[in-house]
Amino acid sequence: MVCQSVEGERGILMANNQVHFFDTTLRDGEQSPGVSLNVHEKLELAQQLARLGVDVIEAGFPIASPGDFEAVKLVAQRVKGPVIAGLCRATRGDIDVAWEALKGAESPRLHTFIATSDIHLRFKLQKSREEVLEQAVAAVRYAKKYTSDVEFSAEDASRSDLDYLCLLVEKVIEAGATVVNLPDTVGYAVPDEFGRFIRTVRERVPNIDQAIIAVHCHDDLGMAVSNSLAAIANGATQVEGTINGIGERAGNASLEEIAMALYTRKAFYQKEVGLNFREIYRTSRMVSSLTGMVIQPNKAVVGKNAFAHESGIHQDGVLKERTTYEIMSPELIGVYQSNLVLGKHSGRHAFKERLTEMGFDLAEEELDKAFKRFKELADKKKEVTNHDLEAIVKHELFTPPEKYRLNYLYFASGTQLIPTATIGIVTNGEVVEDAACGDGPVDAAFHVVDRIIGIHGELVEYKLSAVTGGKDALGEVTVRVKVNGRIYIGRGVSTDIIEASVRAYLNAMNKADYDRCRGETGRKITIDDPTNGHEGKGK
């Protein structure tokens, strides 16, 4: 352990020292405004979460849309190791659909919920406390018919009447709930109060030892991580959150921050964390890249500046003894140096070794593809750094097979010219070509793509950043494109920023076309649907 200063501090010792990490990046995280992951991206991320070693992956809310259903089913069938959970409201219809999606999992979990605060009961559900209690118990009993692993969440627990909540928790445990989750749904709690709240529930509910106590905190007041830690110190043994803290509104508790707090301050919390810490950084980058949600540079643990020392005094101190200003080591979470260089003479073997060091374990075929892209890049760029390699792997390999691929691109632009683009796109083994004008070369190129694919995309957001420093740096473009009311995220990299833009746009439009071919409408049921599932929305 890096930090020496905690010796002698006293933590609260619990009989069971292991904290279970429940990741809901694919469900609550995907509820972030403007984020929409397709089935392939969800599977990719779930596989990475399994490598990170989370205990539970909440793969989605199967009744929300056919896409969610399909994603949960695929993750359940393919991802081994963690428990795979699917969210469902406290109704038979939701539970049936969730089970249908989950049943292929090695260890499936049904996660059913209903709101318990008076404010939700009165305005959202229009039900009495008795009715909600009855519905919660019935849902857990029904879910138990399918599986022994049933989690029950009391939505808005932190604002619920404590006596009522304790009674309800007792009854759902009696009905068979093995995990009881007490969320701070609207991020209203503060750490002391939330810790006391968890302790009180533990002390008052007579059969609480028959279930795991979980917490799920939102970050509206910026206290989701602190509240989660306070809950852990008071007896919660499952913590729910997302990577990078993404999620509804201000987001969820950031799992990597909780993990590193428990690790770095182990003498205080006295808890074990079963994660592969070295996968933290890579998971964080993958989440950011797939969701298009940029990580703020000063974000704890995974921000670009989290381990950067700017002031002379700090630099001097770190050079003399790292622990003067560094309480965690970047290597521990898998941050790799970006200045290790490969060039155009580097062979396949060196290339493979470097990717392995960086944690990418590629199949031969994937390696061939990545090596080809590396050689193309090395022809244009003298030095290829680890960050360039990561960009290649992410963009070229984490993209599922696409129906439309860029074959060539010409554009003409200048102060005295009408910007024009000509593009060739390979589809079904043929090259389709077209040309168009626009306000600029990017606009012109996007018009051509629209014409060839036959879908109109509305560009909602465009971001360009350099992967590394230097004039020959790779440009990385992320676009958000709206098609039929749904947002698609596309990413592309190239040393040429127009080419990177076209690759990114094409990436988004391929996803839109995939949905169009499957007749996916983009409509989703949200967890706050006021009918609470009473309109018989089966699949």
Binding site for ligand KIV (CB under 6 A): 28, 113, 153, 155, 181, 183, 185, 216, 218, 527
Q: What's the closest the beta carbon of residue 223 comes to ligand KIV, in angstroms?
A: 14
**Binders of Zn ion: how many residues, by CB under 5 A?**
1
Alpha helices in 156-223 (DSSP H): 162-175, 191-204
Q: What's the closest the beta carbon of residue 185 comes to Zn ion, in angstroms?
A: 6
Q: Estimate the crossing angle of helix 92-102 against helix 129-144, to 10 degrees.
A: 30
Q: What's the closest the beta carbon of residue 121 comes to ligand KIV, in angstroms?
A: 14
Q: Which range, of 25-33, 260-268, 455-463, 512-520, touches Zn ion by CB under 5 A?
A: 25-33
Smaller CB separation from ligand KIV, 32 or 264: 32
Smaller CB separation from ligand KIV, 82 or 183: 183
With CB under 5 to 8 Å by kind, the binding choice for 527 among Zn ion, ligand KIV, none is ligand KIV
Q: Please check whether residue 445 is in contact with residue 437, taking contact to mean a CB–CB distance below 8 angstroms.
A: no
Smaller CB separation from Zn ion, 28 or 44: 28
Choose among 213, 273, 218, 264: nearest CA to 241: 218
Q: Estimate the crossing angle of helix 39-52 against helix 280-291, to 10 degrees.
A: 170
Residue 156 phi/psi, 5-degree rounding, is 60, 35
Smaller CB separation from Zn ion, 28 or 156: 28
With CB under 5 to 8 Å by kind, the binding choice for 211 among Zn ion, ligand KIV, none is none
With CB under 5 to 8 Å by kind, the binding choice for 68 among ligand KIV, Zn ion, none is none
With CB under 5 to 8 Å by kind, the binding choice for 155 among Zn ion, ligand KIV, none is ligand KIV
Report the distance separating Cα 25 and Cα 75, nearest Å. Answer: 13
Token reading at 251: 């987001």
Q: What's the closest the beta carbon of residue 155 comes to ligand KIV, in angstroms?
A: 4
Contacts of 245 (CB under 8 A, 6+ apart): 219, 224, 225, 251, 252, 253, 254, 257
Report the distance separating Cα 207 and Cα 171, nearest Å. Answer: 9
Q: What's the closest the beta carbon of residue 87 comes to ligand KIV, in angstroms?
A: 6
Q: What's the closest the beta carbon of residue 9 comes to ligand KIV, in angstroms?
A: 32
Smaller CB separation from Zn ion, 28 or 476: 28
With CB under 5 to 8 Å by kind, the binding choice for 152 among Zn ion, ligand KIV, none is none
| Beta strands in 322-457, from DSSP E residues, in sequence order | 405-412, 420-427, 430-437
Q: What's the closest the beta carbon of residue 535 comes to ligand KIV, in angstroms?
A: 19
Smaller CB separation from Zn ion, 32 or 264: 32
**Per-residue DSSP letters for 97-140?**
HHHHHHTTSSSEEEEEEEE-SHHHIIIII---HHHHHHHHHHHH
Smaller CB separation from Zn ion, 60 or 438: 60
Contacts of 252 (CB under 8 A, 6+ apart): 24, 28, 29, 216, 217, 218, 219, 224, 240, 241, 242, 245, 246
The amino acid that residue 147 corresponds to is: T
With CB under 5 to 8 Å by kind, the binding choice for 153 among Zn ion, ligand KIV, none is ligand KIV
Smaller CB separation from ligand KIV, 191 or 330: 191
Contacts of 240 (CB under 8 A, 6+ apart): 22, 23, 24, 58, 181, 183, 214, 215, 216, 217, 252, 253
Q: What's the closest the beta carbon of residue 70 comes to Zn ion, in angstroms?
A: 22
- In the set 23, 28, 149, 499, which binds Zn ion (CB under 5 A)? 28
Q: What's the closest the beta carbon of residue 294 comes to ligand KIV, in angstroms?
A: 24
Q: What's the closest the beta carbon of residue 180 comes to ligand KIV, in angstroms?
A: 11
With CB under 5 to 8 Å by kind, the binding choice for 113 among ligand KIV, Zn ion, none is ligand KIV
Smaller CB separation from ligand KIV, 181 or 264: 181
Q: What's the closest the beta carbon of residue 181 comes to ligand KIV, in angstroms?
A: 6
Smaller CB separation from ligand KIV, 90 or 474: 90
Q: Please check whether residue 27 is in contact with residue 525, taking contact to mean a CB–CB distance below 8 angstroms.
A: no
- The footprint of Zn ion on residues 49-78 (CB under 5 A) is none
Q: How many CB atoms lie within 10 A of CB 500?
A: 24
Q: How many CB atoms lie within 10 A of CB 310?
A: 7
With CB under 5 to 8 Å by kind, the binding choice for 291 among ligand KIV, Zn ion, none is none
Q: Please check whether residue 268 is in contact with residue 11, taking contact to mean a CB–CB distance below 8 angstroms.
A: yes
Query: Around 290, how many Cα atoms within 13 Å sit in the side-chain half-sphere?
Result: 30
* Strand 475-483 versus strand 486-494 pairing type: antiparallel
Report the distance separating Cα 59 and Cα 68, nearest Å. Answer: 8
Q: Which range, of 23-31, 133-141, 256-264, 385-393, touches Zn ion by CB under 5 A?
A: 23-31
Smaller CB separation from ligand KIV, 153 or 284: 153
Contacts to Zn ion by CB under 5 A: 28
